Amino acid sequence: MAVGLAQRACKERDVQLLDQAVALRRLGLSWRSRGLRIRRVYRFEFSEEGIGRRTGYLVLLGLELVDLSLGLPQMSDDA
């Protein structure tokens, strides 16, 4: 699931997901109104120009995506 989310985010921003993989960086528990949920933080690498590497991350709470960042400026609707 995390790989698919990273792929979609990279495709939407027109960058290349490198290695077609994500790495689990942190695993924890989080109490919510719906009960206990597993919180996972994944890191992945991508390239804007095909040469350099940049790092992005995504956070899943249970099966819900709660945060995703490529560290790039926000896209405007005018673009």
pTM: 0.82
Cβ atoms of 34 and 17 closer than 8 Å: no
d(CA 59, CA 53): 20
Q: In this predicted model, what pLDDT tens digit does every residue of 9-67 receive, in sequence order?
A: 999 999 999 999 999 999 999 988 888 999 999 999 999 887 889 999 999 999 999 99
d(CA 48, CA 16): 6
Strands 64-69 and 35-47: unpaired
Q: For 20, how many CA atoms within 13 A lie in the half-sphere containing its CB?
A: 0
